[in-house]
Each structure stands twice: as C-alpha cells, then as structure tokens.
A and B are shown apart, each in its own frame.
Chain A
Amino acid sequence: MTETTLIAAAPRTGVAVRVRPRGEGFELWFEYICCAAATMLLVTLGGLLVSLLIGGLPAFTKFGFSFFVTSNWDPVQGVFGIAALMLDTVLVAVLALLMAVPIAFGVAFFLVELCPPLLRRPIGTAVELLAGIPSIVFGMWGLFVFGPLFAQYIESPLMNAAPPGSIWDTLTSGVPNGTGILSASIIVAMMVLPFIAATLRELLLTVPAQVRESAYGLGATTGEVVMKVTLPYVRRGAIGAVMLGLGRALGETMAVTFIIGNSHNFPKSLFDAGATIASTIANEFAEATSPMHTAALLASGFILFVITFAVLAMARMMLGQAREG
C-alpha cells in the first residue's frame, strides 16, 4: 500500500519529494502499545503478589508465627494454622515427583532413542494429550474409577501384609477407601509426567548428533549412551525440567481436591486423608464463613505463591542456562 503511494506521488509533483509513508506517525505508538501489553504481564504478577499479601494481612497479623506452625484449622472458632496444609502440599508434590520422574525420563528416552520413527509422532502426541486432559477430569477419574480399584488391589493387601508395629504398618494404617495422600500423589504424578517428559525430550534433541554417534561408534550400548553421554550433556536442563514438574505438582488443584479426602489434621499415614493449600482454597473460598476465614485462605495462597515461585524460578534459571550453554 505504501509503495503505491510513493510511486503515484512522484510524477505528479515533478520533483523528487520524499512522501511520508502512510502510518509513519504511529510507529512509536505501536511500540508503546506493545510494551504496555508486555508490562501487563509484569503488573499481573506484581498484582497477584500484592493482592494476596494485602488480603492475607489480617491473618498474618492476628496469628503471627503460629499461623505457620500450628495445624488448627477451625472456621467456626476463627482459628487458623496452615502447618498441616503446607506439609501435605509438599508431601503430595514430592511423592508425585518420585513416581513421575522415572516414568517421564523413560518415556523421553524411549521417544528419542528407541521408538521406531513411524510411531514417534503418534506416541509423542498421545503423551501430549495426557497433558491436555483437564485437571478436573483426572479428579473424577481418580475418585470414581482409580480410587475403588486402588483400595481393593493395593491398599487392602498392603495393610493386611504389614507386620504389626513396623514402619510399614504405620505408613499403611487408616481406612483403605482409595482416597488420601498416596492416591492423590499418584494422580498428580500422572498429570505432571507428560510435562517433564516433553521438556526432557526437547532437551535430549538438542544434543549434537556427533556426540551421540561417537559414543555409539565406540561401541556403547543404548543404555550407556543415554546414561553416560546424552543425559549428563543436558543435566542442568534435566534438573530444571524436574523442578518445573514440581512447580506444577505444588499448585495442582482440582484433581487433588477430589481425591485427597480433605482433612486439616497432620496425616498419620500414606492412606490418611489430607488437604493441600490449593485444595483448601478450592473447597472453602466461595463459602468462606467470616472475613478472617477469607483472609486465612488468601494468606495460605500467598504462601503457596512464594513456594511455587521459588521452585519455578529455580527451574527457569537451570533451563535457561542449559539453553545458553
């Protein structure tokens, strides 16, 4: 459009006059608008932090240090402590990671080294679809399908087989009803494994072909190439991928809400009911009974934000260094 204006304008005037291209005056404005949109991201994160802090301030000031070290969560009495919630949040996420990491690494190795080329795309897409299934569907599946099976075939046999008085017995005490901390962490493991697998796969694909091929050329087996050459090559990034998964697991809400059983006490065993920060907010926020209840939930949200932000920031730094190095 602008080119035609230039050509059309020149012969009419007879002399070479620089015709300002149409829309030139808007040049700077466009940059400012784009910059404002980018700044909006910054404002969102800042606003998130500030609003949770201000909203949670009444709870912080009223309960002080005991907010973090007691587990008394009583909306009727107006007493709140999030020690058990924080413990459950971390416990579920760490247990989930323990299960998800070996599986995710195996899937990534399979896709990069072992998979027949014809199947690479379908299987890669299938793993991505697992990541796409909404959290709440995992929750419903966990509660209505997985839970009963888990109770019947895993929880009950484990409880019956436990020698009385042993650590095993303590860990598997409680009611084998298919909900609880272990069930929740298994579902969360299913949800984070595609994220870890996809990130690790991208990383493994950045390993130069010569590096892999020279290892194979020296007679290394597939297992040796992966464990001793390609995985060490991307180790920083691999740690970052795991941390990214941890960040997701910490904030996982709906699936956990369905299956964790919602109890605010300290868990006594792996089968015991619990509640994470996110599941408590999902369950109680819309029906909070008092302003202090709302404040306590906002304050626990602030704590969750601080924990996940720290984990995600660390993940990002490690992935970023892997990308540059």
Chain B
Amino acid sequence: MAVSAARVAARRVSNGAFVVFCYLVTAIALLFLAAVLWTLISKGVGGFSADTFTMDTPPAGSRGGLRNAITGSIMLCGLAMLIALVFGILAGTWLAEYAGNSRYGSAVRFINDMLLSAPSILIGLFVWYLLVANIIGHFSGIAGSVALALLAVPVIARTTEDVLRLQPTSLRESGIALGTPFWTVVRKILWRSAGSGILTGVLLAFARISGETAPLLFTALSNQFQSFDMGHEIASLPVVMFNDALSAYDDLQRLAWAAALLVSAAVLGVTIFARFMSRERKST
C-alpha cells in the first residue's frame, strides 16, 4: 500500500496539535502556581512588621500581630503530629508486617485510602460530635489537635506501609536468624532502614495539616489572646485568615495575607524538603 501524502500530513498535524496542547496546559498549570505565589508574596510581605510576631490578633483599627495565632498553630500541629506519629507508624507497621493478604488487612487498607481523601470538614464534624459536644463539652485545642491528627494518620500509615514493603526480605530474615524477636527486628532494623522514607511521610502529613482550616473552625475555634491552655479555645493561623480575610477592614485583610504567606511558606518549604529527602533515598 502506498503511503498517502495526505495521510502523513494529517497525522503530522494531529500530532502537532497534541504536542502543542500538552505544552499549553502545562504552561497553564505552572501559570496558576506562579499567579498564586506572586499574590502571596506581593500582598503578604506588606502585612509584616515587628508587631506581627510580638502582638496578638487585634480588633479592627488597632495595632496587632499574629503572635497568638502562631503559637496556637504550632501547639495544635505539634500535638496532632505527636498523636499521628504513634498511631500512623504502628498502623503502617501492622499493615506491612503483620496483615499480609488477610481480609481484615485489605479492609483496613481500603479504609485508610478512604480516610486519605475524605473531606476534612467531615473529620471536623466527627471530632466536634465526639469531643466538643459529648466528652469534653466545650471547644478546645485538644479537639483541634485530634481532628488534625485524624487527617495526618492515614498519610503516615500509608507511607510507612509502602516504605516497609520496599525493605528486602533478607533484612528481616537475617535479623530473625540471629534469634532476635521479630518486634525487635521491626524496631531496630526495619524502622531504621526505612527511617528517611517514614520521615518523608511525616513531613508530607505535617504539610497537609498545617494549612487545614475546615476541621479547626468548630473544634479549636479561635481566641483573641495568647493562650497555652489546650483545654480551651485556641487561635490558629488558618482560622485567623478565615475570619480576617472575610472582614471588611483593610488592616485585618493585610494581616490575613501575612498569615497566608507564613503558612504557605511553611507548607511549601516542608514539601520541597520532603521531596529532597525522597530523592536522596532513591539515589542511594
């Protein structure tokens, strides 16, 4: 069959269109990122001053900063990560080392995948119902931390399982051959060799929860003043952003942009660092 010139031309054109389309949409996606980052920097930097770190969130029209929100966010995320680390690593270890192909194992794996993408606001509702409405009885930092922890656990469990599965079986066998109890093999050999991978998961989980707003709205609520009492309402950067950005006052909106820059810088910095870590792991 002779090659028709028209057919060749048509294929060349359709391929050209495909390639141009791919370049174009990638450019659009990168443009989105650039636009959001540019807004964050241009609007966020103007909101910073010495007051930002030394004064609490103000009512409209007076001087103020973000001190209470910054310390609140650090405490909420810190406690959440502490809870999530324990549960996430243990659950991931169970899935990788003990569950095998059992039916219960696949059920838990499935549930973990569901929780990984479940709307965060529903996690907030659950924690509100459980802790705020019933067990504790009022809004509190602890409830906020639990909500954030429930968002972080699936991420950590998933990465822990994945990384542990990548460890060679010979590593487990050599440990057992020395007469080491298996749980010591897990702790002293597997966790150590999988350490940087687990750390990547932990960092990604931290990046995920540090910008979360929805689950904090009705668990930790907010607080105008500096507070270290996790048993009561506590301020956080995302909730301050939510309240101030939607207010009608210029100075509060400026403060919200400063908070947005602060949170985004932390999240993106941690994400890049986590990527860097996982690259190191792959190259060695």
Q: Does A136 contact B (CB under 8 A)?
A: yes
- Annotate B2-35 by CB proximity to A: 1 below 8 A, 0 otherwise: 0000000001101101110111111011101101
- Annotate A297-325 by CB proximity to B: 1 below 8 A, 0 otherwise: 11001001100110011001000000000
- Annotate A109-137 by CB proximity to B: 1 below 8 A, 0 otherwise: 11101110000010101111110111111
CB distance A137 to B211 under 8 Å?
Answer: yes
What is the bound-complex CA distance between A6 and B180, given in angstroms? 10
Q: Does A251 contact B (CB under 8 A)?
A: yes
- Annotate A24-48 by CB proximity to B: 1 below 8 A, 0 otherwise: 1011001101111111111011011
CB distance A41 to B154 under 8 Å?
Answer: yes
Q: Does B1 contact A (CB under 8 A)?
A: no
In the complex, which residues of chain B have a beta carbon less than 8 angstroms from the beta carbon of A42? 107-108, 111
* Closest residue of B by beta carbon distance from A33: B90
Given A35-B94, A41-B111, A301-B121, answer yes or no on A23-B183 (Cβ-Cβ < 8 Å): yes
**Interface hit among B51-59, B122-130, B223-231:** B122-130
Number of B residues near A (Cβ < 8 Å) is 94
Contact of B36 among A34, A44, A138, A258 (CB under 8 A): A138
* Closest residue of A by beta carbon distance from B263: A134
In this complex, which of A47, A111, A133 has the most chain B Cβ atoms within 10 angstroms of its Cβ?
A133
* Closest residue of A by beta carbon distance from B245: A140
Q: Does B167 contact A (CB under 8 A)?
A: no
Q: Does B152 contact A (CB under 8 A)?
A: no
CB distance B181 to A24 under 8 Å?
Answer: yes
Given A44-B150, A251-B118, A282-B214, answer yes or no on A134-B267 (Cβ-Cβ < 8 Å): yes
What is the bound-complex CA distance between A27 and B150, given in angstroms? 27
Contact of B183 among A27, A103, A138, A297 (CB under 8 A): A27
Q: Does A244 contact B (CB under 8 A)?
A: yes
Q: Does B91 contact A (CB under 8 A)?
A: yes
What is the bound-complex CA distance between A134 and B245, given in angstroms? 14
Q: How far is the CB of B143 from chain A (nearest CB, A)?
A: 12
CB distance A38 to B95 under 8 Å?
Answer: yes
In the complex, which residues of chain B have a beta carbon less than 8 angstroms from the beta carbon of A52? 122, 125-126, 129
On chain A, which size bracket covers the interface?
35 or more
Q: How far is the CB of B85 from chain A (nearest CB, A)?
A: 11
Interface of B is mostly: helix
In the complex, which residues of chain B have a beta carbon less than 8 angstroms from the beta carbon of A247? 117
CB distance B214 to A48 under 8 Å?
Answer: no
Contact of A250 among B25, B108, B119, B157 (CB under 8 A): B119
* Closest residue of B by beta carbon distance from A52: B125
CB distance B21 to A312 under 8 Å?
Answer: no
**Interface hit among A151-159, A165-173, A216-224:** A216-224
In this complex, which of B113, B118, B211 has the most chain A Cβ atoms within 10 angstroms of its Cβ?
B118
In this complex, which of A39, A45, A52, A113 has the most chain B Cβ atoms within 10 angstroms of its Cβ?
A45
Contact of A254 among B150, B178, B213 (CB under 8 A): B213
CB distance A286 to B221 under 8 Å?
Answer: yes
CB distance A223 to B19 under 8 Å?
Answer: yes
CB contact list, A230-274 vs B, under 8 A: 244, 247-248, 250-254, 258
Q: How far is the CB of A221 from chain B (nearest CB, A)?
A: 4
In the complex, which residues of chain A have a beta carbon less than 8 angstroms from the beta carbon of B210? 134
What is the bound-complex CA distance between A130 and B125, given in angstroms? 27
CB distance A285 to B179 under 8 Å?
Answer: no
What is the bound-complex CA distance between A298 and B132, given in angstroms? 14
In the complex, which residues of chain B have a beta carbon less than 8 angstroms from the beta carbon of A1? 188
Contact of A316 among B95, B113, B260 (CB under 8 A): B113
CB distance A221 to B11 under 8 Å?
Answer: yes
CB contact list, B78-125 vs A, under 8 A: 86-88, 90-91, 93-95, 97-99, 107-108, 110-115, 117-123, 125
CB distance B18 to A194 under 8 Å?
Answer: no
CB distance B14 to A190 under 8 Å?
Answer: no
In this complex, which of A21, A38, A44, A45 has the most chain B Cβ atoms within 10 angstroms of its Cβ?
A38
CB distance B126 to A48 under 8 Å?
Answer: yes
CB distance B119 to A132 under 8 Å?
Answer: no
Given A21-B179, A51-B130, A132-B271, answer yes or no on A282-B115 (Cβ-Cβ < 8 Å): no
Q: Does B184 contact A (CB under 8 A)?
A: yes
* Closest residue of B by beta carbon distance from A250: B119
Q: Does B182 contact A (CB under 8 A)?
A: yes
What is the bound-complex CA distance between A312 and B214, given in angstroms? 20
Contact of B268 among A106, A133, A141, A253 (CB under 8 A): A133
In the complex, which residues of chain B have a beta carbon less than 8 angstroms from the beta carbon of A41? 91, 108, 111-112, 115, 153-154, 157
CB distance A31 to B117 under 8 Å?
Answer: no
Q: Does B272 contact A (CB under 8 A)?
A: yes
In the complex, which residues of chain A have a beta carbon less than 8 angstroms from the beta carbon of B180? 2-3, 21
CB distance B179 to A114 under 8 Å?
Answer: no
CB distance B40 to A137 under 8 Å?
Answer: yes
Q: Does A227 contact B (CB under 8 A)?
A: yes
CB distance A136 to B25 under 8 Å?
Answer: no
- Annotate B178-205 by CB proximity to A: 1 below 8 A, 0 otherwise: 1111111010100000000000000000
Q: Does A204 contact B (CB under 8 A)?
A: no
Q: Does A176 contact B (CB under 8 A)?
A: no
- Please give 14 more A-B residue pairs, beta carbons under 8 A apart, in addition to A110-B23, A125-B275, A286-B221: A1-B188, A35-B98, A41-B154, A45-B111, A45-B114, A115-B26, A121-B279, A130-B33, A136-B238, A136-B245, A144-B253, A221-B12, A226-B18, A252-B119
Closest CB pairs A-B (n = 7): A251-B119, A134-B211, A223-B18, A106-B25, A34-B94, A37-B90, A221-B15
A-B contact pairs, 9 of them (CB 8 A): A31-B183, A37-B94, A45-B114, A102-B25, A111-B26, A133-B267, A141-B35, A194-B29, A298-B125
